[in-house]
Amino acid sequence: MKSTKNLAFYEFIMKVQAISKIGLTYSKDAYALENYQELSDLSTTMLKDFTDINFKRPQYFERDLYPTPNVSVRMIVFNDKQEVLLVKEKVDQGYTLPGGWADLFESPVEAITKECLQEAGADVKVTQLTGVYHYDFQHRGQAQSQYVIVFKGVLKGPLKPFGHEILAVKFFPVNQLPKQLSFKIERKDLIKMLADAQKGETYFE
């Protein structure tokens, strides 16, 4: 067995590897891509020295078993008027719930807390798990399947400056959602998520 110190170091390398993979996938800046590639190469070398796992280039997270859905986390925050907090995504100019993909070595609560702060400038306290949804969608010619873990929470303070991937952060009445929603959650699914959160129950399928 690896020692606690070795496990912490292994998780650190894997985290760097995951960050570099995300950067290589989504970054458009040539200099950033060079840096992400260097991080990827360095962390891969370290992983090979650390463990006997055989990593294949360029996909270091290929599965030998059948593929499984990705996991994303989303947050529902209502204000005193029962309006819901939404963020406007730069990628498609549409509004959606704050959140994103869950990262390696983070619990769902840690992931959504971080995403809310980074995306919406919202320091939130998670109060309830409102649902676990199976959600499939098409984007850029690829089918994606995911499990969406949705939480309900409250703001711990005023909103702070939001992240570079977001154009706006705003509260909307539940029955007057913006016309343009992000592709990440369809309108019918968003309406259901909000309804489940208002009931105070936990939905799962």
Helices (H), 51-107: none
Task: Indicate whether 89 and 188 sit together in one domain.
Answer: yes
Cα–Cα distance, 74 to 34 (Å, whole number): 31
CA distances from 61 to 4, 7, 18, 47, 57 (A): 23, 18, 9, 12, 9
Task: Indicate whether 100 and 183 sit together in one domain.
Answer: yes
Q: Is residue 79, in this structure, part of any structural domain at all? A: yes
Task: Indicate whether 24 and 119 sit together in one domain.
Answer: no
Task: Indicate whether 110 and 169 sit together in one domain.
Answer: yes
Domain containing residue 183: 70-204
Task: Indicate whether 109 and 154 sit together in one domain.
Answer: yes
- Predicted local distance difference test score (pLDDT) of residue 10: 67
DSSP 66: -
Task: Indicate whether 42 and 112 sit together in one domain.
Answer: no
- Predicted local distance difference test score (pLDDT) of residue 146: 86
**pLDDT, block means (10 residues), the chain with 205 residues:** 59 77 77 82 73 47 61 96 95 94 87 93 96 76 79 95 91 96 92 94 89
Task: Indicate whether 23 and 107 sit together in one domain.
Answer: no
CATH code, domain carrying 98: 3.90.79.10
Q: Is residue 127, in this structure, part of any structural domain at all? A: yes
Task: Indicate whether 168 and 106 sit together in one domain.
Answer: yes
Task: Indicate whether 39 and 75 sit together in one domain.
Answer: no
Please give the tally of structural domains in the chain: 2
Residue 137's φ and ψ, nearest 5 degrees, are -155, 165
Q: Is residue 56, in this structure, part of any structural domain at all? A: no
Task: Indicate whether 105 and 194 sit together in one domain.
Answer: yes
- Predicted local distance difference test score (pLDDT) of residue 57: 40
Q: Is residue 140, in this structure, part of any structural domain at all? A: yes
- Predicted local distance difference test score (pLDDT) of residue 60: 46
- Predicted local distance difference test score (pLDDT) of residue 66: 55
